[in-house]
């Protein structure tokens, strides 16, 4: 039988024939055979809690027990048995001393590291093990536990050096061989090459953490790194969250394969232009990418990266023989790690991205806590608006429309107000747009129409023929998403208000920007006797051809024409000319004209000179409650605040 190789410095001296002297290696063999603390011989696996050896199920038969005692009592037989196990094992075995020197190795271990047995037996731990070990501190602690007798064995993943220079990933189970007094003498390591398994795991890990289309880190890896970046108490973290502008058009017109190619090209350009050791560029999904600055030096650094991204996307991409251009909207956030969490950071980045998109795309916007707070309040208002209608939180005020010829009150415009139980009075400029966005404008508009018509019917019954008409605002969303004709006719029927006393206002942009259903509805309502007015005229399309095509009874000039009206500067002179021309044109078509936003007496004089029909504004009266307007109508007095030029007539 071949004697196991050992380090030359510890090799046995040549002995005379017929004499036999034990070598240190053979002493180690005897110790490994005889001691009660020899290692388990199971194949090493991944790290797992140590388990005690199972107790024998029963005592062996007497004959078998005698054979075992005979074998144990025969040193030569015991040594041969150990050597056979040692030499023929398919698992690498290394016996070492407590200073890290190798005492002996088996053939499997030598082959594993690419050395002969004599060469392998001459290697120290420092020669065998790669210095940069994963979990080195934990491994050292567990080794100390082994030497102290707190555990019987330890299982570790260790990287060994191969003679070719490559690294081997191994699973190693280490135990101690002790002398008769219980003192550790040798370390016994069972070593298994798991490099293929490790490489497979790494490939699977890479696939799980990287986007297959672009090769960039994916959402999972990004959040893993973000979690680590925000765990440092003294660190700062920055994020640029970007969404490609115009990507959907590429997908829709050129096909998804071109869209995929574009995403891959964008990823390559971002990696080339802004890649750095302290930055992680990841694809979040779809056409969204993110840049994580793990050790930010401040907001200026992160906004500079956002600028780099925009510049990187300036040049078009050559894809499939075509030039394709995209830009990006970017949300920027930079905060101290101790003051945020990954979820909060990404919520802020997402909100900032939305702001950039909303403001015109191809730009970046920084996170603003105050703006975000307003957005949160706005969102809360959106969710409470419909219940607020049912709970009676809305009410109407009415602003008079005054005849410029005699100062008489000819009409009133119904204006909705919201008295929130917690936030108080909320301006229409805040909630009207929100109602349109959420669709709450449909039930709100229906309530306004019903309530206003009911009030106007009461005034008509009390005053008679001189009752002013009622003007109610509609939005284009109401025209599209509700049966507005049915709603209007129903309100008139229930209230008893004559159709001629109802005027419906739509803004110029709403009315002239849509065709089809809104126009059909307006024609039907006009046929029923309802007046139609174009509000804010002069601020939208200003397509005068529509005036002859639509059933328009009145124009309401936007306040911007009135502000400079009657002044002596050049802009005021132009306004005079424009208003005069519009009034003449409207009158030639049988359309009356109302001026909005009248605040000064010189404006009243100029409008009267231009032959404008009606005026509305704080010069005459602010919006008042239904009760105050009722009293005003019953007294027959002019609106409070009417100028002396009107009162004197």
- H-run or E-run covering 259: helix 256-274
Give 518: exposed, middle or buried? Use CB within 10 Å, 0-12, 13-18, 19+: buried
pLDDT tops 70 at residue 199: yes
Give 454: exposed, middle or buried? Use CB within 10 Å, 0-12, 13-18, 19+: middle
Considering only CA atoms, which of 259, 210, 184, 214 is closest in space to residue 28? 184
Task: Average the pLDDT over 34-56 and give the result.
Answer: 42
Residues 364 and 430 in one domain: no
Task: Average the pLDDT over 108-136 and give the result.
Answer: 88
Helices 369-390 and 441-463 pack at an angle, to 10 degrees, of 50
What's the mean per-residue pLDDT of the chain?
A: 84
* Beta strand ranges found along 351-481 (DSSP E): 364-366, 394-403, 409-420, 424-426, 469-473
Residue 52 lies in a domain: no
621 half-sphere exposure, CB direction, 13 A CA radius: 24
Instruction: Quickly state the pLDDT bin for 413 (edges 50, 70, 90).
Output: very high
Give the Cβ contact number of residue 609 at 10 Å.
Answer: 14
Residues 532 and 404 in one domain: yes
Q: At which of 341, 373, 405 does a domain end?
A: 373
Residues 402 and 459 in one domain: yes
96, two tokens: 């070492």
Give 427: exposed, middle or buried? Use CB within 10 Å, 0-12, 13-18, 19+: exposed
- Residue 532: which CATH number? 3.20.20.450
413, two tokens: 């415009």
pLDDT tops 70 at residue 265: yes
Residues 214 and 347 in one domain: yes
Residue 205 lies in a domain: no
pLDDT tops 50 at residue 581: yes
Task: Average the pLDDT over 49-62 and give the result.
Answer: 53
- Residue 253: which CATH number? 3.30.70.270
> Rounded to 5 degrees, what are φ and ψ at 435?
-65, -35
Polymer length in residues for the chain: 649
Residues 214 and 117 in one domain: no
630-640 pLDDT tens trace: 988 888 766 65
| pTM of the complete model beyond 0.75 | no
Residue 319 lies in a domain: yes
The alpha carbon torsion through 72, 77, 83, 84 (nearest 10 deg) reads -100
Residue 204 lies in a domain: no
Q: At which of 199, 220, 247 does a domain end?
A: 199
Kindly tell me the sign of the dihedral angle through the C-alpha atoms of 131, 133, 139, 141: positive
pLDDT tops 50 at residue 169: yes
Q: At which of 173, 199, 225 does a domain end?
A: 199
Residues 365 and 464 in one domain: no
Task: Average the pLDDT over 374-392 and give the result.
Answer: 89
Residue 315 lies in a domain: yes
Residues 122 and 268 in one domain: no
Q: What is the pLDDT of residue 512?
A: 58
CA distance 199 to 215: 18
Structural domain including 402 reads: 393-640
Residues 186 and 301 in one domain: no
Question: Could you tell me if 4 and 109 are in contact, meaning their C-beta atoms sit under 8 angstroms apart?
Answer: no
Residues 282 and 194 in one domain: no
CA distance 511 to 552: 11
Q: What is the pLDDT of residue 569?
A: 58
218, two tokens: 């994916």
Instruction: Quickly state the pLDDT bin for 537 (edges 50, 70, 90).
Output: confident
CA distance 161 to 131: 10
149 half-sphere exposure, CB direction, 13 A CA radius: 6
pLDDT tops 90 at residue 268: yes
pLDDT tops 50 at residue 305: yes
Residues 416 and 513 in one domain: yes
- Residue 103: which CATH number? 3.30.450.20
Higher pLDDT, 345 or 536: 345
Instruction: Quickly state the pLDDT bin for 648 (edges 50, 70, 90).
Output: very low
Q: What is the pLDDT of residue 26?
A: 46
Task: Average the pLDDT over 451-470 and give the result.
Answer: 91
Domain count, the chain: 3
67-115 pLDDT tens trace: 666 656 665 566 777 788 888 888 999 999 988 899 999 999 999 999 9
Task: Average the pLDDT over 517-525 and give the result.
Answer: 85
Residue 163 lies in a domain: yes
Q: How far is CA 249 from CA 204, 318, 448, in A?
A: 34, 16, 41
Residue 645 lies in a domain: no
297, two tokens: 């030096």
Residues 214 and 345 in one domain: yes
Longest dimension (CA), the chain: 148
């Amino acid at each position: 039988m071949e004697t196991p190789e050992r380090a030359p410095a510890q090799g046995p001296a040549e002995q005379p024939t017929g004499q036999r002297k034990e070598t240190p290696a053979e002493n180690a063999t005897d110790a490994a055979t005889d001691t009660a603390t020899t290692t388990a011989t199971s194949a090493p696996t991944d790290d797992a809690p140590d388990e005690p050896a199972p107790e024998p199920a029963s005592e062996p038969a007497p004959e078998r027990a005698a054979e075992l005692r005979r074998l144990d009592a025969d040193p030569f037989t015991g040594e041969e048995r150990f050597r056979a196990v040692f030499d023929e094992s398919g698992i690498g075995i290394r016996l070492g001393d407590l200073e890290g020197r190798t005492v002996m190795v088996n053939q499997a271990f030598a082959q594993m590291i690419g050395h002969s047995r004599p060469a392998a037996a001459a290697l120290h731990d420092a020669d065998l093990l790669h210095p940069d070990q994963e979990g080195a501190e934990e491994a050292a602690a567990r080794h100390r536990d082994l030497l102290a007798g707190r555990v019987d064995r330890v299982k570790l993943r260790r990287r060994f050096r191969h003679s070719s220079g490559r690294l081997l990933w191994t699973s190693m189970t280490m135990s101690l061989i002790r002398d008769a007094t219980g003192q550790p003498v040798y370390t016994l390591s069972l070593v298994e090459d798991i490099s293929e398994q490790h490489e497979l795991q790494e490939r699977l890990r890479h696939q799980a953490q990287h986007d297959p289309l672009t090769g960039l880190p994916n959402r999972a890896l990004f959040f893993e790194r973000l979690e680590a970046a925000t765990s440092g108490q003294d660190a700062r973290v920055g994020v640029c969250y970007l969404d490609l502008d115009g990507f959907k058009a590429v997908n829709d017109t050129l096909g998804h394969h071109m869209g995929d190619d574009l995403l891959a090209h964008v990823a390559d350009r971002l990696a080339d232009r802004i890649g750095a050791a302290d930055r992680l560029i990841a694809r979040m999904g779809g056409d969204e990418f993110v840049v994580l600055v793990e050790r930010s030096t401040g907001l200026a650094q992160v906004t500079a990266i956002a600028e780099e991204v925009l510049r990187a996307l300036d040049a078009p991409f050559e894809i499939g023989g075509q030039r394709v251009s995209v830009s990006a909207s970017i949300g920027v956030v930079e905060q101290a790690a101790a003051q945020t969490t990954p979820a909060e950071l990404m919520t802020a980045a997402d909100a900032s991205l939305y702001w950039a998109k909303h403001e015109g795309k191809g730009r970046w916007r920084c996170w603003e806590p105050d703006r975000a707070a307003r957005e949160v309040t706005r969102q809360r208002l959106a969710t409470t608006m419909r219940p607020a209608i049912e709970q009676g939180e809305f009410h109407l005020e009415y602003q008079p429309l005054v005849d410029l010829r005699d100062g008489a009150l000819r009409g009133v415009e119904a204006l909705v107000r919201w008295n929130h139980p917690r936030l108080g009075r909320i301006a229409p400029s805040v909630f009207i747009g929100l109602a349109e966005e959420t669709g709450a404008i449909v039930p709100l508009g229906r309530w306004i129409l019903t309530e206003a018509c009911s009030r106007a019917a009461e005034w008509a019954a009390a005053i008679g023929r001189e009752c002013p008409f009622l003007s109610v605002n509609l939005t284009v969303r109401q025209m599209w998403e509700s049966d507005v004709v049915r709603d209007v006719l129903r309100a008139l029927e229930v209230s008893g208000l004559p159709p001629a006393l109802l005027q419906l206002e739509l803004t110029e942009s709403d009315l002239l920007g849509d065709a089809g259903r809104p126009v059909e509805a307006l024609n039907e309502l006009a046929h029923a006797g309802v007046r139609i007015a174009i509000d804010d005229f002069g601020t939208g399309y200003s397509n005068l051809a529509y005036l002859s095509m639509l059933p328009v009874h009145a124009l309401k000039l936007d306040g911007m024409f009135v502000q400079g009206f009657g002044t002596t500067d050049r802009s005021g002179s132009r306004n005079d000319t424009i208003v005069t021309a519009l009034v003449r044109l409207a009158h030639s078509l049988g359309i009356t004209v109302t001026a909005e936003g009248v605040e000064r007496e010189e404006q009243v004089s100029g409008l009267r000179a231009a032959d404008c029909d009606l005026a509305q504004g704080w010069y005459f009266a602010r919006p008042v409650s239904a009760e105050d307007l009722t009293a005003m109508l019953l007294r027959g007095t002019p609106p409070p605040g009417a100028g002396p030029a009107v009162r004197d007539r």
